[in-house]
Structure 1
Amino acid sequence: MSSVIAADSQVIFHFTIKLEDGSVADSTQLGGKPARLVMGDGSLTPSFEACLLGLSAGETKSFTLAPEQAFGLPNPDNIHHLDRAKFGADAEPEVGAIIGFSLPNGGEIPGIVRAVEGMSVTVDFNHPLAGHTVTFEVEILAVDEELEEA
């Protein structure tokens, strides 16, 4: 008998995230490698995790989440105007490019170049899916004890 996903379950699943127009924003199906998750570990937002609660191995489900439940709304404070000189010759900023920026703690954060005007580069540090209603499709492959067999 398969386990039901609970607040502390380990889960292996495939997911697809689709935008309002039906285009695929992300999918584990494309690479053929399912996601592995420990519920509550922070790798998914609470709203995404809530969609998984109560599902069991073999189930598929589709959920539509508003921006506030998914990746949030764009925050204007996350848009920065940087001096073009801060970009090295090997990292010429182009509109639409995603560039990794180093954080003081040694981590990295991606930013999307939104505009390049003279010596000013506008970089958006909001999540790329912020502001979008998304459809979250899941196929649960294994839960808890099935993981030892998988």
Structure 2
Amino acid sequence: MRIAEGARVTLHFCLSLADGQEIDRTPDGSPATFVVGDGSLPEGFERALFGLEAGATERLEMPPEKAFGLSREENVMLMPVEKFDPGIDLEPGVVVAFSGPDGDRPGVIRSLQGALVVVDFNHPLAGKCLILEVSILAVEAADEVVDEVRWV
């Protein structure tokens, strides 16, 4: 069976930057399992796997548009220092959680400009070309997965 919408996929993966710096991987001996379309992977990653079968090993180049998107300037904001708790380290690179109507949203402090803090709300991998190496272990039909869904 080939990977398609709704399929349950079990795989090993390694995600790295184009320069080879490793970002994430499945632990040795512990594969990852997901259902295509369940939102656990960016859509571009899922689409890149379409058509692969159990036993396939691929090295996929993922441009930003198919991975975590382009870095968007409108996601970088200036915020007054007094909006931050006094105990927070406002050093560049520090990740701070901000509460919003849709839940917590992480932002990375980029710099301080006087009484303002530059906070970047882009995904940390936005704008980056990535390499996704996968080994597909199993692909199951969607109807084989439905039995595992528990209705509340």
TM-score normalised according to structure 2 size: 0.83
Q: Identity across aligned pairs (percent)? A: 44
1:29-69 Cα deviation digits (max 9, x unpaired):
37x64322111122223321122112222322110011112
What's the offset of the Cα at 1:24?
Answer: 0.9
- Asked if the contact 1:16/1:29 (under 8 Å) is kept, the reply is no
Aligned residue in 2 for 1:131: 127
Aligned residue in 2 for 1:42: 39
Aligned residue in 2 for 1:27: 25
Structure 1: stretches of 5+ with no match in the other structure: none
Query: Is the alpha carbon distance of 1:132 and 1:101 closer, same or farther for their aligned partners in structure 2, counting shifts above 3 Å?
Result: same
State the secondary structure of the residue aligned to 2:48. Answer: helix
TM-score normalised according to structure 1 size: 0.84
Structure 2: stretches of 5+ with no match in the other structure: 148-152
1:56 to 48, 53, 58: 53
State the secondary structure of the residue aligned to 2:66. Answer: coil
What's the offset of the Cα at 1:112?
Answer: 0.9
Q: Which amino acid aligns with 1:63?
A: L
State the secondary structure of the residue aligned to 2:71. Answer: coil
Q: Does 1:8 align with 2:23?
A: no
Query: Is the alpha carbon distance of 1:121 and 1:33 closer, same or farther for their aligned partners in structure 2, counting shifts above 3 Å?
Result: farther
The runs of at least 4 consecutive aligned structure 1 residues that moved more than 3 Å come to 145-148
Query: Is the alpha carbon distance of 1:28 and 1:90 closer, same or farther for their aligned partners in structure 2, counting shifts above 3 Å?
Result: farther
How many residues are matched?
Answer: 144
1:93 to 80, 84, 90: 90
Q: Which amino acid aligns with 1:129?
A: L
What's the offset of the Cα at 1:81?
Answer: 0.6
RMSD value over aligned CA atoms?
Answer: 2.2
